[in-house]
Structure 1
Amino acid sequence: MSKQKPKKPKSTQLGLDQPPTLPGTQPNESSGDEEDPPNRALLAAITALRGEMTKIKDDICENLERRIERVYNDLRAEIVTTNNIAQVSITNLEAKSQTLQAKVTDIEEATTAHSDSISQLEQQVANLSVREGSEATKPRDFIANLLKDTLSLDEAPLIDRAHRTLRQRPNPSDPPRPFVIRLHYYHVLEDILRKAAAMRNLQYQGKSISIFPDYPPSVAKRRAQFNRARQLLRNQPGVRYGLLYPARFLVTHNGSQSSFTDPQKAEEYAARLTTTTTIPTPSGSTGRS
């Protein structure tokens, strides 16, 4: 008998190299669908990193919010403090401004009264319209007693020097030369000028006298150019005026103040003021001083 060769397994015949099945195991038909272990580890790491980044972002935002709130509160407190300091400063400035305005008003009134007593002989310290020779040989004593009696002073002022102006003696029919005097104390000079301005019409033994401050001739000439404007404004209701040194004409009408260095513009303004009730500040004025 001829021997028959053993048959090979079917799988072998089909040319499939399948691994042998171990005892107690089942072939894994779905092993090709599962992810590889390295990929799973990478996905887990990415997920963890994403969570960490989210936490870091939340921490940064929270810190920024706290810092912004702290800076905001600090700035707000500083603004409140600065505002309080500024308000106190403004209040102090307003109080000082009111005090200064009151002083300016007093000066204006004094200047107006003083300006009314000044006329054509402003360059002399004293212009006393009394007969030539009345002073005899003691002009200082004569003027001291004259001032004491005329101005009702407590005592005769101390005079360093007194003499008639140095020009030719006038004829008997002409006005006398004015006196020029030098007072020993400056505050006495101020008192005399203030009282003379307040009393206006001064009389000595039935004769009119006038007292004026002394100015250089050039200044006196410039100031005399405003005489016409002063005459127009004299006795006008609601009007105060005066001359500031050296020659600036100051006018206050119903609280509105104007100043002039041009005599012609001052006269035009004064002329309009005598015929109208309300006068706007003219273009030629220099504004409030």
Structure 2
Amino acid sequence: MADGPSPPPRAADQEEVTHRLERLISALPTKADLSDMVADLRENFGREVREIRTEVSALSTRVGALEEVAQRPPPEMTTTSPTAFSELQRRVDDLDNRGRRHNIRVRGLLEVEGPEDLRAILTELFNHILNRKLDTPIHIDRAHRALRPQPPPTAPPRDVICHLTEFALKESIMLKARSSRQWDFHQCSIELYQDLSPFTLAARRCLQPVTQALRRANLPYRWGFPFTLLALNNGVRHTICYPTDVPAFLEALELPEVSVRSWEDTARPRPDLPRPRRRRSRRRGRASPDRALARELSPPHSPHHADV
């Protein structure tokens, strides 16, 4: 059955469509509305740009001030800074020496070619000093030579530094070792010292003129920790802790003036560590099996034979 022609639209529907179109058209922004929107956008963007410019200007000012401060020479140290640094250095040096309390430095022990059993040698040496059986066990945690290259045969041997587990035994050895400056052991003249930090050794070397003056005046003295030189005179104890204490110390003990270097300005000596040896490649100088076989099979080269 064929479809018939569509019925004509009703007047009510046409009016409804017309009203909807009118409402849509009336809801569209006008030219004035678009102008207001563009003006608002310009104002907002302009305000944000001005804020960014203000922040960038402030950052530029701060960076310029920092660059100016960085280009200035460093300010001179105040009078309290050297004292604070000196006290810190003494404390660090004291910690270093406390870590060496169990150590003994043995000087004069000849070096031998190849590996040496330092624990066995030191055990025999310490038992010899203590007048005990040479095979009496002594617990030695570690023992090694001073960390520097091995000297030539004509130079003195390197010191041996060892760490004993028992502090009381270490003190007994050092107390007995003080009864004699040198000990004959295995045809060597052995000396025993307390292992001290490089800073303490440098400071004691700087104060040698003072200790020599004390010995000439028969005034007893001893070393203290943190680094201190103590002397007793008429029941009064006098001390040197800093280089600035030397003049008052000499005046109080009525000793002649001596020249003493400042041990705080002395640079700490760096240990001469042995340079690592370069390992040679095992492949260098070795021919591969294929090349060796080719050389064996190839005929001997002779000027009478032409190269093929």
State the TM-score, normalized to the length of structure 2: 0.42
More helix by share: 1
User: TM-score, normalised to structure 1's length?
Assistant: 0.44
- Computing the radius of gyration from Cα coordinates, the structure with the larger value is 1
